[in-house]
Amino acid sequence: MTAGTAAVWVGVMLVGGVGSVLRFLVDRAIGRRMARTFPLGTLTVNVSGAALLGFVAGLALPRDAALLAGTAFVGAYTTFSTWMLETQRLGEERQLATAFVNIALSVTLGMGAALLGQWIAEQL
């Protein structure tokens, strides 16, 4: 392992840690203010993460910078597993309409946010 590679790994750990803590804080802040019937915290995290990832992609960063920003930070910030678990639990609770709305909103808003983030980066 070269010194450059080691620095990237340390960066991934640090930046990923920041992303995961930020995800927790955003989800918790929104969850405390909103009704618990819809997983709005996770939706907010994932849509904003999609916008960030689109922005990073639009910047065409060097490989190591893209790894740190996209994979480490945004990858740790967003949460596919929580989204699926919350959707599955809505289904278990027979809130099928809410589960399908969660899926539709997440995909639609996430795609739109990613495209918007990429467009903004390309304007810079």
Burial of 90 per CB tally in 10 Å (0-12, 13-18, 19+): buried
Give the pLDDT confidence of 34-45 residue by residue, as tens digits.
Answer: 767 899 999 999
Domains: count for the chain: 1
Token readout for 53 is 């990832």
Report d(CA 75, CA 87) in Å as an integer. 20
**pTM of the entire structure?**
0.91
Q: Has residue 2 got a pLDDT over 70?
A: no
Alpha carbon of residue 42 to chain centroid: 8
Give the pLDDT confidence of 72-90 residue by residue, as tens digits.
Answer: 999 999 999 999 999 999 9
75 is in an annotated binding site: yes
54 is in an annotated binding site: no
**Domain extent for 9:** 3-123
Report d(CA 102, CA 50) in Å as an integer. 16
